[in-house]
Amino acid sequence: MKAYVAISFSKRKNFDSLINTIKKNLSENKINTFVFVDHYSFNLNEEKLMMQTAMNEIKSSQILIAETSHKGIGIGIEVGFAKALQIPIIYIRNNKAEHSTTVSGISDYQIIYINEKDLENKLQLILKHIN
């Protein structure tokens, strides 16, 4: 099983610890973590290739986790595409971050976390339903 993690490209470095928490939880549930922005880098004129690559990676995933503590248009596109494919979507954000009504509204599960331990506990409960 594979989980595609959608996260802001420009803010990715701020989330190393959080992504490690997600990876640990997924691994404990025998789910591989795929963070698109960690695997690919595209030039400005490669937007079609970037989106085709993202769509192919989402198609091969069974879960999409959208970390929206920092909003990004790309995250919304990835979530919409996953929803069209009927892939379960987990919306997550820090409780101090602005709420994304669109991503939350289309998601199957929502996690509003206080800290990484809180995220870990809530993610474990959801993964029991999905796995």
Helix residue spans in 8-115 (DSSP H): 16-28, 36-39, 47-59, 73-84, 101-106
34 HSE (CA, 13 A, CB side): 18
Comparing 83 with 36, the larger pLDDT belongs to 83
C-alpha dist (Å) from residue 77 to 23, 24, 99, 116: 23, 26, 17, 26
pLDDT digits (tens, 9 = 90+) for 58-86: 999 999 999 998 877 889 999 999 999 99
**pLDDT, position 22:** 93
Q: Does the pLDDT at position 131 exceed 80? A: no
> Which tops the pLDDT comparison, 104 or 72?
104
Provide the residue ranges of all domains of the chain, joining segments of one domain with +: 2-130
Query: Which range has the top average pLDDT, 16-25, 62-71, 80-89, 122-131?
Result: 80-89
Alpha-carbon span 46 to 85, nearest angstrom:
24
* Predicted pLDDT at 129: 83
Domain 2-130 CATH assignment equals 3.40.50.620: no
